[in-house]
Amino acid sequence: MNKTNEANVDLAPEEFNTSWADESNYTSIKKQFDSRFGDIELLKSNTGFEVIFMKEKVISNKKEAVNFILSLKKRILMNNKNSLILKGFSVKSKKGLCSTNYLIKSFYSYPNKDARKI
């Protein structure tokens, strides 16, 4: 069976060290466990009242990191009003003695309410 969701491509080296352009426009409010999203960090806009959340994922396998980054790129292009909006993501790679770890932060609009809260 052909796995079409696996990447057969490699990313440019700079794509493993990118920042979301708006990341500096938000300040951390708190870290918490959310039953819908797991461990998240709430961030508030420095210029308004918008609240978003950030999820972190550490990946130690390059192929898995590439697949995850590609899936985030596709997700940003989605414009589905029934899905959470992925506002952006950042990637940092850290080389160790025997491996490289990829820290991927994804930033989402934080829903004020959902069906569970209505």
pLDDT of 59-102, one tens digit each? 999 999 999 999 999 999 987 888 889 999 999 999 888 889 99
State the architecture of 13-109 in CATH terms.
2-Layer Sandwich (3.30)
**3-class DSSP state of 67:** helix
- CA gap 34, 39 in Å, rounded: 6
Indicate the pTM of the whole model. 0.84
Residue 57 reports pLDDT greater than 70: yes
